Structure 1
């Protein structure tokens, strides 16, 4: 226990790392690499980057609308200050898409995302400023959470719970911090990085098999070093690939290494893509893995991406907004909701069939169908005879 931790304990404070598990989380693993696997090194794996971008870009680009309840119906609360923060501009420097994309990526890579809440004199949220999770430490004091944030000038700011929007991935055992997929399944990402580095190293050496030079007699240490350096300068590296080696004096070259095919490196790389996609619950076709994709199942997997992958993240945003950005009284009237209809619409034939059946059954009006298709309003279309539509 550090001096700082003991001091905080004496004051009734409990200090928690900005990332679930902290540095000690990684120290318990005997891994393949000497360097840590973190959000930066993990994004070097294309499958990880693609999964994070697929979820964060889609989540941020979906319209996030603040609605006002009106009896059994609802209407857009476009006059509410929070509407513009969620839909247009998060703060004077960042659009809503940019801020939400960054926060969602932090949730996936670090398990937690934080944004400082700026309220007006009326108590309504006017701005959201994303904070780097690496600069945030979560504290618990007298049963309540607080957030210590260190800005770019190394000035420490103490923020109370109502001043921070905190988004979490799956909640950890402490009930405070979320656990990212990378932290939960570090070995999957670690293996993918090791495979990538193996391929890079192989191609740097000209994609040639390693081996040994066999001499008929004993070599002196200085001779051995000179031959090693000479051989490496002439035949190692991608620039020397394909050059013909010249052996003399009874020297023989014997290969002792496996090729990428012998070690099933290519198959392992493909399996790592599937493993990473499974880790983030993203259908492989969404991140460009079409090995098992067809036209029909790709369309279905795109829908599963919305219903099975995005749903948890979208609900997390909506509930966090209700909890942190709306007062108890406002929650009775206002609520935020993502508009996902555009992702689930399907092709034009299926949409036309859907609208036709809805209009024929009487639960949809022609004007509503046109509005869903972003078509201009036609006056009196709802009163026209079915044959005239």
Structure 2
């Protein structure tokens, strides 16, 4: 007997970064992307209540649900109880809204969105764990799981507390595989330990691994001049066992076509390929960055409650990948629940306890210049 999702093709269409025409989704191009995706034999679509302010769910209703038989694809969406919902009823109503926007009738895969850190408690307080099981019993939801952004030990705690969860969605890519902050490998290993099939998100790290730093590109192009850098990242992710699918957030036809080429007659990484990717990872790792290990000693006594490791994560994204827009997005996410780097009063408490002896105050000043 196979595992849940074993027969689903291993490229999934992530609907977070759809092509846009001004403030609206480009429905014409989205329809063409949906057509190419399905015609190539792929069937998994992933959206969320909050993607593009709800426009993603509306768009996939137009481009997919209204145009294809419901049984010919799998549609996933997510419930973010920690965002915008002021009480349990508002959180539960998100499912009703998602069903109305998409017109799908039911969701094949339904996810509690972005568990970890301080966000998990909202699902506990609002009774969402029981609610989704009730909806599953009614046939509104076929399979229920969650997406996750936190440490492996936190993932294990959730899986121990909620064995009824059928699958997990994790950020996995070769850049984050050994990351102390993301812990891709460690989280994947926890999911395997508990026999939960995995959906992979961010396999190309939000597009950063499609155009990695020049030294990394040289490693990949030397091994295969014809292969795109994105294809190496996707093959790394899709070569892991126990997957439901690998989501790629495609925002145009060229990205769709490149991904379809990668997965046409898909070949997992062999031994030589794995060595190339490991060389690329180590090359990326060697690019100078703030040597923060996310021990969080600096945070415990910060009078301004600045998420210093989060600020450094964004700063390192900028220094390694050179993508200011992406790094600013990271910075906004990391400082969303507390003060920004500009709140620093230069008291020096953080520097007095930093095991890596980082010049934190100066690094925060640089972050202010770059991101605020």
Length-normalised TM-score, structure 2:
0.20
Compare CA radii of gyration and give the structure with the larger one. 1
